[in-house]
């Protein structure tokens, strides 16, 4: 994904979440963006997402 498409996807997802009454933290957003940029594997993403969820 290009930087522009990642940012657009993040904005759309955030707007959709707000409409559903859900919000993500800055830390969660950074993790999602890192995954979309291909900087971590899917397995690393899942592991880190679970760690965040269990905090």
The alpha carbon of residue 31 and the mean position of all alpha carbons in its chain are separated, in whole angstroms, by 5
Local confidence band at 55 (pLDDT 50, 70, 90 cut-offs): confident
Three-class DSSP category at 48: helix
pLDDT tens digits for range 7-44? 999 999 999 999 999 999 999 999 999 999 999 999 99
pLDDT value, residue 1: 87
Structural domain of 36: 3-53
More confident residue, 1 or 32: 32
Provide the number of structural domains found in the chain: 1
pLDDT value, residue 27: 97
């Amino acid at each position: 994904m290009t930087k522009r498409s990642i940012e657009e996807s993040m904005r759309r997802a955030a707007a959709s979440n707000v409409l559903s009454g859900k919000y993500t933290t800055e830390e969660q957003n950074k993790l999602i963006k890192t995954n979309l940029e291909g900087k971590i594997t899917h397995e690393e993403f899942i592991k880190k997402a679970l760690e965040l969820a269990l905090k």
